[in-house]
Structure 1
Amino acid sequence: MGVFVVRRVIISIFTLLAATFVVYLLVVNSGDPLEELYPIPNADQREAAIEGRIELLGLDQPVLQRYVGWLSGAAGCLVGACDLGQSIEQQEVTTLLAQAMASTIRLVTAATFLAIIFGVTVGIVSALRQYTGFDYVVTFLAFLFFSLPIFWVAVLLKEFGAIRLNDWLADPGIPLWVTVALAVVAAAVWQAVLGGAARRRLVVAAVAAAATAGVLVYLDAVEWFARPALGPVLVVFISLGWALGITFLVSGLRNLRVLYASLAATAGGLIGATLLAGPLRDPSWLLIGLCTVGLIALGVVAGVLLGGLDRPQAVRAAVFSALLTGATVFTDYVLVAFSGYSDRVNGRIVKTIGSGTPNFTGTFWEVWLDRSASLVLPTAALILISFATYTRYTRASMLEVLNMDYVRTARAKGLTERTVTVRHAFRNALIPVTTLAAFDFGAVIGGAVITETVFGWSGMGQLFVTGLRNVDPNPVMGFFVVTAVLVVLFNLVADILYAYLDPRIRLS
């Protein structure tokens, strides 16, 4: 493993050197960086500005010498002395990158993570329900989303996902026809997902429609959308539901040791949230991080103590149950802060432009809401494109694995369909998806250039476009280096994950 990683790092270094040289040549030959200075009417000022620009960018040197100078400064990043030069506005590129990376990485990470979660889940269900109505609908939507131009999707989201949604939130109410339509959609989705005989489908559809309509009517009656919150009772029920669901996926509900470990981790998380209710009203990221570490430790302890012979499964189930319990509590605090935040921003919750409200201050939860509200639209735009890709790849990979001999053997041994799917098929089906995720991360950053432009984000995309427009090589090279290093790093992680997902793979 160590030899493999070292060899891949060495190959990646030479690849980056060749790529940076080609990109540098393309940027410096894409235009005249002095063009904007020629119209200066005063001759002395014009000559002084041109001389300053030539000295700043080293335009009096050969291109190869300028590249070597830039490369020597970039190599200093390996020892903590990073020097990526200055922009034509005489700003340090490292400072510009530090400011831009925070916005772009936040956007790309959220979009990639959510696209993987939803895309893989829907892809698996689509494979298990092959050639059903659900499969056909998912296939149609996947091809539709994949073919949509991201800038057009972004404009539609600004109109229907922000402007009209904010207008509705000012006086939220659910008309009867919307309740009926959502109930019908829920009935169609759930009966397609669960499948079965016609009678079972009718029962599932009726229950799903009734439950959806009942929940919507109740939420509308109590004006939940104006003052949202989960409350302690709902937090407990949702957390217990997570514990049961995770146990079912990991080992099945008949494995009582794993179930007890999950329930114990959930109970411990709820008790901890109650004891920390005071500090959690306005916490810090340090406290949130410590709580996350504590939940993981709680899950490990519960799994070790209660897991018995099924200790590895119990640890996994307990850790996920504890983390999801923490996420439920986190969501409750966010919803409680929603009403106060809405008043402070005059009801314009979802932002159409910018990465946050300028100079906004408030509690931890209000600041988090402000940052998250700015993420909604650009993240949704990026998710729609990536979601389609992950769905199709996961479906195809899952279908291929389900038809393999070892899966048929597992079924012949009498294993349940859940065990066959989760333990035997799902893990191997993730190998192509892992490869896709590594490549998609770089593609999402490229797509974020357009997304940031549409939504007015001050991120790496804007830095890149501005550098190209001004024939300013240093910011463009800074963007390229960060993107290239992230792509190489994610591909290396993907290669290492192969050996974990499939023990037959050996890295050497």
Structure 2
Amino acid sequence: MIRFILRRMLASAAILLVLTFAVYHLLDFAMDYFFDLRASTSPNIDQLFESRRRLLNLDTPVTLRYFDWLAGVGGCFIGQCDLGTAWVSGQEVTSQLQGAIANTVKLVTAATLISIVMGVLIGVISALRQYTGFDYVITFVSFLLYSLPVFWVAVLLKQYGAIEFNNFLNNPVVSWPVVIVFAVIAGLFWMGAIGGDARRRVIVFASATVVTFAVTAYVLLTGWLESPRIGLIGTALVSAGFAVAVTFASTGLRNRRALAAALITVVVGLLLYMPLQNLFYYVEMNIPAMLGLLLIALVIGAAIGIALRGPDRSASARTGALTALLMSIVVFCDRVLQEWDRYVAMPQINNRPIATIGAATPNLQADFWMGMLDSFTHLLLPSIALILISFALYTRYERASMLEVMNQDYIRTARAKGLTERTVVMRHGLRNALIPVTSVMAVDIVTLIGGAVITETIFGWSGMGKLFIDSMNRNELDPVMAYILITGLLAIAATLLADFLYGLLDPRIRVTS
């Protein structure tokens, strides 16, 4: 394993070296460093040209300048990183990268995780319901979303997801025909996803339609949109639903110990709800503190599963930990939403909470919780734009991979041995179907981090993509090279991670040298 990693790292370093060498020379040839001086009528234009030439060291051959830049990159190994200077602003590239990387990771993490989970889930269901109405609709929607240009989606989101929605929040008018149509569509979705005989499909359709209508009516009539809350009751209901769903996906509902571990985890979380509210109120929170609380929650959930003993304690521990993770997210979102009324009343927000541009509201005096809410409102639209495209990609790949796997001989053997359909699908089918999707995930993560250029530009999100475009427009070589270097390193890390995931998903895959 160590030899494999070293060999991969050396090969990747050689490739990255050749890549940066070629790109540096091509960029230097393509960039016009005197673009702003060529139309100047200044009497000392010759001195200005000479000053620019000395500033950028253009009298030195480009190859030597590349090795000077490479020496600065090598200083990162000893804590003296020098990636050059953005000559227009005079700002160090390392300082530019700090904020850009943080904003891009914040944007891409949310979009990637949600698109992977939703895409894989819908793709599996679509494969299991092959050639049904549900499958045809999902296939059509996937192709439609995948073909949409991201800049057009982003503009529509700004118009209808922000401007029109903010107008609606200030003057909410309920359109009951729209609510009824939405409820019927939800009923049809769940009917197609769950499937079954005619009686079961009718029951599912009627139940889902009624529940969706009731929840939507509650949200609209009670003013929940103007002042959203989750509360203790909402946390209990959502967490209990997560507990059942996690148990079904992890072990199946017949595993009573796993189900008990999940439900006991929810009960423990509800008992800690009020003490946590006091902790959040009296103690100043930050990201490390929240991660520490999340780790404690995972340990408690796993410990509950282990304490129940049984022949498969690891399954119960896994179920309890996953339930604790999801419940922690619900409690966190509940505390963030408690700041909503104070947030929308701020003069900088002016009752228009859904942002259309930027990563944060300028001059907003906010504590940790209001700052998180402000980040969420700015993340919402660009995340949706990225999710819609990636979701369609993962859905198509997972459906195709799942269909291929479910027709294999070992799946027929598993069914012939009497295994339940859930076990066949989750343990044997899904695990193997994720192997080709893992390759797509690795490439997609790098593409989103390095290539969310259009989305970041339209939404004014100061991330890596916008840094790349701005630097290209200003003919700044060093920031562009830093962008190339970081995306290259991410590509290497992603492919290496994909190799390890292959081994986790399929025990037959092993690195022998």
| TM-score bracket for the superposition, by shorter chain length | over 0.9
1:297 corresponds in structure 2 to 299
Post-superposition offset of 1:284: 2.3
- Could you tell me which of 416, 419, 429 is aligned with 1:415? 419
In structure 2, stretches of 5+ residues that fail to align are none
Contact 1:258–1:303, Cα closer than 8 Å, also in 2: yes
Contact 2:258–2:316, Cα closer than 8 Å, also in 1: yes
Tell me if 1:311 matches 2:310: no
State the distance in 2 between where 1:55 and 1:356 align. 38
Post-superposition offset of 1:220: 2.5
State the distance in 1 between where 2:341 and 2:178 align. 24
Contact 2:305–2:317, Cα closer than 8 Å, also in 1: yes
State the distance in 1 between where 2:203 and 2:93 align. 62
1:424 corresponds in structure 2 to 428
2:266 corresponds in structure 1 to 266
State the distance in 2 between where 1:130 and 1:99 align. 46
- Could you tell me which of 332, 335, 343 is aligned with 1:333? 335
1:204 corresponds in structure 2 to 204
Tell me if 1:481 matches 2:480: no
State the distance in 1 between where 2:55 and 2:265 align. 59
1:434 corresponds in structure 2 to 438
Q: What's the secondary structure of 1:350's corresponding residue? A: coil
Post-superposition offset of 1:57: 2.0
2:225 corresponds in structure 1 to 225
Letter of the 1:77 counterpart: C
State the distance in 2 between where 1:501 and 1:276 align. 37
Contact 2:450–2:464, Cα closer than 8 Å, also in 1: no
Contact 2:337–2:373, Cα closer than 8 Å, also in 1: no
State the distance in 1 between where 2:120 and 2:334 align. 27
Contact 1:84–1:478, Cα closer than 8 Å, also in 2: yes
1:68 corresponds in structure 2 to 67
Residues 71-470 of structure 1 mapped to structure 2, 5 A cutoff: 71-89=70-88, 90-281=90-281, 283-344=285-346, 345-470=349-474
Letter of the 1:87 counterpart: A
Letter of the 1:370 counterpart: D
Letter of the 1:268 counterpart: V
State the distance in 1 between where 2:261 and 2:215 align. 31
State the distance in 2 between where 1:197 and 1:297 align. 42
Contact 2:154–2:458, Cα closer than 8 Å, also in 1: yes
State the distance in 2 between where 1:105 and 1:420 align. 36
Deviations 1:413-436 (A, max 9, x none): 111111111111111111111110
Letter of the 1:79 counterpart: I
In structure 1, stretches of 5+ residues that fail to align are none
Comparing 255-264 and 188-197, the one that deviates more: 255-264
CA distance 1:38–1:391, change in 2 (3 Å): same
State the distance in 1 between where 2:309 and 2:379 align. 40
**TM-score, normalised on structure 1?**
0.96
Post-superposition offset of 1:358: 0.8
Deviations 1:188-222 (A, max 9, x none): 10111111122221121111111111222222232
Deviations 1:373-416 (A, max 9, x none): 11111111111111111000000111111111111111111111
2:55 corresponds in structure 1 to 56
Q: What's the secondary structure of 2:353's corresponding residue? A: coil
Q: What's the secondary structure of 1:35's corresponding residue? A: coil
Report % sequence identity. 46
State the distance in 2 between where 1:325 and 1:458 align. 32
Post-superposition offset of 1:283: 2.7
Post-superposition offset of 1:47: 4.2
Q: What's the secondary structure of 1:209's corresponding residue? A: helix
Post-superposition offset of 1:339: 2.2
Letter of the 2:157 counterpart: L
Contact 2:442–2:495, Cα closer than 8 Å, also in 1: yes
**TM-score, normalised on structure 2?**
0.95
Letter of the 2:385 counterpart: A
Comparing 458-467 and 478-487, the one that deviates more: 458-467
State the distance in 2 between where 1:126 and 1:502 align. 23
Letter of the 1:391 counterpart: T
